[in-house]
Amino acid sequence: MNKLAEAVRLINEGGLGGLLVYSNGTVNILRASYLEYFAGFAPMGPNNAAVVSRGGEVILIVEPAWDARRAKRLSWIGDVRGTDDFGNAIERAIRGLGIHGSIGLAGGAEMPHGIYAAIAASGPVLPADEIIDTLARTKTAEELALVRKVAAIADVGFEAFHRFSRVGVREYELVAEMEYAMRCAGADDNFILISSGPHNTAMRNPTDRRMTEGDIVIGEITPVCRGQFIQLCRTVAIGEASPVLMAKYDLLMDAWNAAVKSVRAGEPASIIASTIDEILGRAGYAKYCQPPYMRTRGHGFGVGSVAPGATLDAETKLPLLENQVVVVHPNQYLPETGYLACGETYLVGVDGAERLSRTETRLYVNEA
């Protein structure tokens, strides 16, 4: 797929004078980076944008100016301009490309008001996230390879999580080992939440607490590479796992397996949550299938996925589409065991879901 040609088609189809794809320079698990997806370049500075005309001319503007050299090396866009006055640079680019009338804005949720006002001075500004989302719904072989690469990085992170969930290891030491392993495997950054103790209430940032025999260690392991996130949710018991812990984790596994079987293109995303909630509800935990005992049954990840980084619950009526990347996790607080983590990321297909990780989903037990 030629991203520029398809973007130009959608610009003209929508009657827009042009398109501006913006980034504030952050990579956020809760919001996909439209500019990184479109330009093939992860910005570092506070204001960055690709400006596209109806005729297919495109300019990449990066701030600060010194980052232009890196942008030229990484992006397919030939006309790269560094600036330390982003508002004026945008106005000049819009005029230079002959853009008249409405301009579509993708990534506007990240944009400060001052920059928005500078763009609006050139003409009406309309939301255009859908243009980039539409492009991303058709994944290239390279993009699918990236998804699988990040899944392999997540497996490396879990292997470190498993190995270092040991008596005497501090939580922040565990996270440091996971961070190091995933960075060495190719991650650009990592989002990691964990908790350890005999009865956890939620996942959180690591502390200096040392793990002890009888602890249950839970973690969300989420590396990112070139804007693509993949997440694994895992539980490790230190010392002998009690019969109650094993039984309750089996219950989460039943809910997870049933939900995964429901994942296919065309189904509403709500089916993930409703399937998990039904199984837990039948087991007597309906009260716990809502906040504060759980927050979400999964997320979409990456541009073009369903609700990237946002909550997937029984009210999420958006359809699952082919090649969307979705994590399914019945992470759950149960009164007998505390909070447990269980989940995998999948590639949505017409006939079902493709599992992306190679490490097994189960309750892991480390000797004390």
Note the pLDDT of residue 309: 66
3-state secondary structure (DSSP) of residue 49:
strand
Bridge partners of 334, per DSSP, are: 338
What is the CATH superfamily name and number for domain 3-136?
Answer: Creatinase/prolidase N-terminal domain (3.40.350.10)
Structure token digits, residue 19: 């398109």
One-letter amino acid at 250 equals: D
Looking from the CA of 182 toward its CB, the CA atoms found within 13 Å total 33
Return the domain boundaries, the chain: 3-136, 141-366
If we measure between CA atoms, which residue out of 323, 341, 343 comes closest to residue 332?
A: 341
pLDDT tens series, the chain, 368 aa: 589 999 999 999 999 999 999 999 988 887 788 999 999 999 999 999 999 999 999 999 999 999 999 999 999 999 999 999 999 999 999 999 999 999 999 999 999 999 999 889 888 999 999 999 999 988 999 999 999 999 999 999 999 999 999 999 999 999 999 999 999 999 999 999 999 999 999 999 999 999 999 999 999 999 999 999 999 999 999 999 999 999 999 999 999 999 999 999 999 999 999 999 999 999 999 999 999 999 899 999 989 898 776 778 888 889 999 999 999 999 999 999 999 999 999 999 999 999 999 999 999 999 98
Residues 6+ apart with CB under 8 A from 23: 33, 34, 35, 36, 43, 48, 49, 107, 110
Contact 297, 276 (CB under 8 A): yes
Structure token digits, residue 204: 């959180």
**What's the per-residue H, E or C state across 178-206?**
HHHHHHHCCCCEEEEEEEEECCCCCCECC
Structure token digits, residue 135: 């492009």
d(CA 41, CA 89): 19
Residues 6+ apart with CB under 8 A from 293: 287, 332, 333
Note the pLDDT of residue 355: 96
Note the pLDDT of residue 1: 57
Structure token digits, residue 4: 């520029």
CATH of domain 141-366: 3.90.230.10
d(CA 51, CA 92): 11
